[in-house]
Every structure is written in C-alpha cells, then in structure tokens.
Structure 1
C-alpha cells in the first residue's frame, strides 16, 4: 500500500477539531501528502429558528460556523496549525453546507484517500441518538477515515 497522497481534515475552529488538524498535518507531512483543511458553514441568511433549534438539541456539539468570513478565518488559522505540525502542502476551503456533506464533497472533489476527523460527539448520548460528524463521515466515506482521539 502506498502512502496517502491527499488528506482532508475538517475543522469548526474548536480546540478539539484543531487537535485533529494537527494530527492530520503531522501525518500529511510524514507522507508527503497534500492536506486540505475544510470548514463547513451555514449561510448568514439561514433561518435563525432552525439554527437555534439545532443548538438547543446539540448543545456544545452544534454546528457553530455561520457565514463564509468566519469559515475562511477558521480554515486560515487551522492551516497555520497544520503547517506548524509538519504539513508541507496545505490548502484551505470553506464549504457551504452541513459538516458531513461538506467533508464528503471535499473528499470527492479532491480525490482524497484519507479523511481525518476528531472523535467529538461519538461518546455522548446525543451522538448515539442523533448521529455525529465522525460517525456519519466514517459510515459514508468512500476513502479511509482516521478518527483522532481529541476529547478527554
């Protein structure tokens, strides 16, 4: 099996997701792979009631990034984290949509052979009942998925 060529990692700017970014950066650097750091975001004109309802149900696991400007800032900072961790070739992308759909779209567009996600949301009751980004991405991804232990 050859080394990974293109690695995609998702971030929402949280401390947990940045730990996954750092791990993906180190791995991409060791493999000589391109690292694509992605952040999904909602449009700013999204119905505030829907966003509020999602945050009420999901609490800290709610999708937080609203608007392309915060998403661009999130991936810019995450790209720096990845470079500091050892990634040589880092690209960043902010994608409109839900986290899982956006990550899988980036994986397809980039023809990635590895998706890296943090484990936040896997252990709680909410994640088991409602699903979580790492669980859903792992189930639906067409490429290898590395789930990084990012929570205590």
Structure 2
C-alpha cells in the first residue's frame, strides 16, 4: 500500500522538525502529498497587551496564528530539503491532539506522523502525551518517529 497523503505535526521545535523530515522523506519516496499541521492557542487579551507594550511594531509576531504560521514555514523548508515535492500547510486553533486528528480526517491522510517527545517523560506517562493520544484516536496509520535523545520509547 502506498500512502497518498501524509500528515505531520509540528510545533516549531527541533524535535518536531526531525519528524517532519522523516514524513517528508516518506512522502517524497512514495509521491504522496505532505500536509504539515500546527495547532495553536491564541493569547489572552492581557497577554497581547503586554506583548504590544514590549514588542511595539513587532507584536503581530506573537498574536493569532502567526507563531504557528512561522513554524509551518520553517517546517516546509525541512520538508523540501528531505524530498517532499507537494507540501500543504495547515494551522488550526485548538489542542494539538484534536487538531491533528481533525486535520488528518479533513485531508484524508493515510498516515499521521508525530515525534516521540513526551512518551518518555513522567508527565507523559501520567497524563498521556500527544503521540500516545494520537496513536489511540487516529483512524489512519500512525508513525511515531524517534526524535528525542535518550532511551527509545
């Protein structure tokens, strides 16, 4: 079975870019479309006011979906370098797991790719991590890429 659409989650971290690169390499090798997804939570009005005071004209960089859009643009660079030819960017407001599951369904993804960050942490074991929740809720194949240092999950 060849994947037609691969969705990879990113939060702009170096760890997530390793998962993006793995997804892009797979998408490039199979000719699949790569959808890069990023969830975001907007700042409260009080936080926006503080940012506006401190950042002045640059305050727009931390409001709305701008941080997610910036993360997606950086992720696209990693994806193209890893071999993806058709890349779609998707930023959506909400919890990371909910956004990944929703976007995977919306784009009819055959494969959802995430990094393993959080699987080895105490909080991840007690509360659950994004990769763990995605693996349990996704209606498509899930690839959890080893993206963090330390022992394997």
Fold match by TM threshold 0.5: yes
User: Unaligned 5+ residue runs, structure 1?
Assistant: 49-64
* Distance of 2:63 and 2:104 partners within structure 1: 22
Aligned to 1:107: 104
Q: 2:144 aligned with 1:147, yes or no?
A: yes
Q: CA deviation at 1:47?
A: 8.2
Q: 2:143 aligned with 1:120, yes or no?
A: no
Q: CA deviation at 1:128?
A: 0.6
List aligned pairs for 1:53-72, cutoff 5 A: 67-72=64-69
Aligned to 1:6: 5
1:104-148 CA-to-partner distances (Å, cap 9, x unmatched) read 010010010000000000011110101100000001000000000
* Distance of 1:101 and 1:81 partners within structure 2: 24
- The runs of at least 4 aligned residues of structure 1 exceeding 4 Å deviation read none
1:63-112 CA-to-partner distances (Å, cap 9, x unmatched) read xx973011101101101110110001001111100100000010010010
Q: How many residues align?
A: 135
Q: CA deviation at 1:46?
A: 7.3
Aligned to 2:56: none
* Distance of 1:146 and 1:130 partners within structure 2: 21
User: Unaligned 5+ residue runs, structure 2?
Assistant: 48-61
Q: Which one has the largest radius of gyration?
A: 2
In the alignment, is the contact (CA less than 8 A) between 1:13 and 1:74 conserved in 2?
A: yes
In the alignment, is the contact (CA less than 8 A) between 1:41 and 1:66 conserved in 2?
A: no
Distance 1:28 1:130, change over 3 A: same
Aligned to 1:31: 30
Q: CA deviation at 1:45?
A: 2.5
TM norm structure 2: 0.84
SS of match in other structure, 1:117: strand
Identify the match of residue 80 of structure 1 among 73, 77, 81. 77
Aligned-residue CA RMSD (Å): 1.5
Q: 2:81 aligned with 1:90, yes or no?
A: no
